[in-house]
Chain A
Amino acid sequence: MLKAENIKKTYNAGKKIALQDFSIDVPTASIYGLLGPNGAGKTSFIRIINQITQADEGDIWIDGKKLNPEHIRNIGYMPEERGLYKNMTVGDQLLYFGELKGMSRQEALSQAKFWFEQLNIDQWWKKKLSELSKGMAQKIQFVVTVLHRPKLLILDEPFSGFDPVNANLIKDQIIRLKNEGTTIILSTHRMESVEEMCDFVALINNSKKVLDGKVFDVREQFKQNVFSVVLADTNSENLEELTRKYQIENMTTDNGLFHFELKNSENQNILLQDLLKTGTIRTFNEKIPSMNEVFINAVKD
């Protein structure tokens, strides 16, 4: 859906490089995570897509067409710095922003009503922003972003400032939107949300792309063949043999159960047989690295 090729962006007459040779490919109706530490270049890239700034070099295509002002009405943007007019009523603001994106007043009204029901915030239509709490204001911010039914949604740290209940509510809405065909680019450093929600991910560090791909594949790429095992009724002799054959770490006992991790380079079935000889298997898990671990490992180099 969105394709970026060799994007370069500098500030201060070339003295500060924000993005170098940055290329990604975002498939339609997917949730694409943009990961990276602060200052890596995520926000610069997002601003380029939103046509707030222009890239020095490189191109962006949306659905095959080069990025141009017509795309604005099909993109929804929730910036990291939340902000709405404090003294306008919620209703007025939604209509205003909707109309700015090209909706008619009718469309804006009906969509606003729809979202108010979805998020359970019916009674706020006439309230001023200054009367709402931060979490409530964030919900309104979200509605402003999705009101005009954009095909591409760009969310910069969407969960910051939300309590767990509301974060979950928004997460469900995002997934629902994806299932209805919206493409979503999520920029965050909350790795758990990447694991829970993202289909694809790209890692940016120091203005360059470090890795990208399906979340599943990326995690597989970084796995270290470590297994987590819990055994009951262990045969101590065989356990010792096991320790000699495999690299075992973090062994603990508790209530007659043995917990440990082991590194396996052999065929998994052989490992299972060896384990079965040693005791009753309660748990057998391959440890796939979390995105957090992937991230830390990737930026370490």
Chain B
Amino acid sequence: MKNIFLITKREFLTQVKKKSFIILTLLAPLMIVGFGALIGFMFKANEAEYKFEVVDKSGIFAGQLKSTKDITYTFVPANTENALVKNLKELKGSDGILIIPELKDKNFDALENGTKLMTNKKIGVDTKVKISADLSNILKKEKIKMLGISEDRIVNLDKNFKIISQNITESDRPESDMAFGIKTALSFGLMYVVFMFIIIYGVRVMRSVLEEKNNRVVEIIISSVKPFELMMGKILGVTLVALTQFIVWIAMSVTAALFLNTGFAAMQKNMPAEQGEMMKNFDFQQIATEVSHVLLDMNYVGIISVFVFFFLFGYIFYSSMYAAIGSAVDNETETQQFTMFAIIPLMIGLYGSFTIMNNPDGPMAFWLSIIPFTSPVAMIARIPFGVPLWEILLSIFLLIASTLLMVYIAAKIYRVGILMYGNKATLKEIWKWIRS
């Protein structure tokens, strides 16, 4: 037992002291945020500003078509049209001419289908869409005026139903709108985290096994400890590394959230009046409070415990598989023929879980969250929506049993594999090792 502790300790310290670990843990969140900002910046930088001359022969748009930051409309008299069109190519200070035909006999069709935009450079799709939307909106208002109805009444026509839903078997209060969105986000997020962690850290266990095999250290260690102890120590060590990274990231996000919250509040204070009004509707604090209400309303103790349990056991289940794979081959390229055994079930769990959001209690959801290969991912995806207790217990029982079985099988493969060099282990051979 003490040996497992020693090996775990070494595995943990070795990985945590590596520069790559520190950099990844601290910088990864920053990199993600930075990357997002970069993308946003790229979008913004590519925005173009256009200037159009508008010949409005219908007279409807003159006072209404407002210039924006991106598109400047300059109204010009109709008789300049021909001259402008002729000189368009060399026309500087203008990117094009928008020609709106005359309105005859209230024939709006002619306007809608006959408006021309002549440009002397390439115009992007979204600009065209914007112009078309601007014109449509104005025309719509005009049509409403012609019908003699006030605009308010038209808006009234378009109101949506806001249904208050309440699942009486689950709670005695109506569900808030946000609830579903939050549950989905939580489901998606947690499931993805488990998936990524299992794959990334499972591979680390495999690499560690290969390293010891390749630098022959394994023979000395095996003369001091049992192969099983070595394997478990390794798995636990890497588990601790994963948990450490996880905790650091949670701490960083919580700090960031608090920081953003206060930062946002400060920003609100310093904003000019109209923008401040707009921001008020987007009250971060209010949203955060609502979110935490929904979260607290959910059985968060249950969710966290289920998450921790399935994360841990799913991780041990797959890491022992990875350890066995690492011990059966001589280098990393050879592992690829075997790693698909680990990745395919996880992917099935991941993609299958997308259906869980639409039907949390359906048959797909049920089976995926019970079968041990996919349950670590699927059950975690399901839990924010609430799962019957007996199903959770059944899944837990199955996962524990199969994890023990997997560790046992992996230990048998590991024990033989780590001392074998040069033979390319085929599945048949590995089966023999398990049988022995």
Contacts and interface: CB of A to CB of B under 8 A. Distances in A.
Contact of B219 (A69, A79, A96): A79
B419 A100 contact: no
Contact of B224 (A81, A85, A88, A97): A97
B6 A81 contact: no
Interface string B6-35: 110010001000000000000000000000
A50 B227 CA distance: 13
A84 interface: yes
A75 interface: yes
Contact of A83 (B7, B10, B215, B226): B215
Nearest to B7: A100
A72 interface: yes
A282 interface: no
B285 interface: no
A86 B221 CA distance: 15
B224 A52 contact: no
A87 interface: yes
B14 A88 contact: yes
Interface of B: 3, 6-7, 10, 14, 212, 215-226, 419
Interface of A: 50-53, 69, 72, 75, 77-79, 81-88, 96-97, 99-101, 144
27 contacts: A50-B222, A50-B223, A51-B223, A52-B223, A52-B419, A53-B419, A72-B224, A79-B216, A79-B219, A79-B220, A81-B216, A81-B219, A83-B215, A83-B217, A83-B218, A84-B215, A85-B217, A86-B215, A96-B6, A97-B220, A97-B221, A97-B224, A99-B6, A100-B6, A100-B7, A100-B224, A101-B224
A129 to B, nearest CB: 9
Given A77-B223, A100-B6, A84 B14 contact: no
A144 B223 contact: no
Tell me the dominant secondary structure on chain B's binding face. Answer: helix
Contacts of A75: 223
A84 B14 CA distance: 14
Contacts of B218: 83
B215 A85 contact: yes
Nearest to B225: A100
A22 to B, nearest CB: 20
B217 A52 contact: no
A96 B233 CA distance: 13
A180 to B, nearest CB: 22
Contacts, number: 53
Nearest to B224: A100
Nearest to B229: A100
B213 to A, nearest CB: 9
A86 B208 CA distance: 12
Contacts of A96: 6, 10
B169 to A, nearest CB: 56
Given A85-B212, A99-B6, A100-B3, 5 more contacts: A51-B223, A52-B219, A69-B226, A79-B223, A97-B224
Contacts of B3: 100
Nearest to A53: B419
A100 B219 contact: no
Contacts of A101: 224
A107 to B, nearest CB: 14
Contacts of B216: 79, 81-83
B220 A77 contact: yes
Nearest to A79: B219
Contacts of A100: 3, 6-7, 221, 224-225
Contacts of B226: 69
A175 B212 CA distance: 32
**Most chain-A Cβ atoms within 10 A of its Cβ — which of B219, B220, B419?**
B220
Nearest to A141: B220
Given A52-B419, A88-B14, A83 B223 contact: no
Contacts of B215: 83-86
Nearest to B218: A83
Nearest to B219: A79
Nearest to B213: A83
Nearest to A129: B215
Nearest to A72: B224
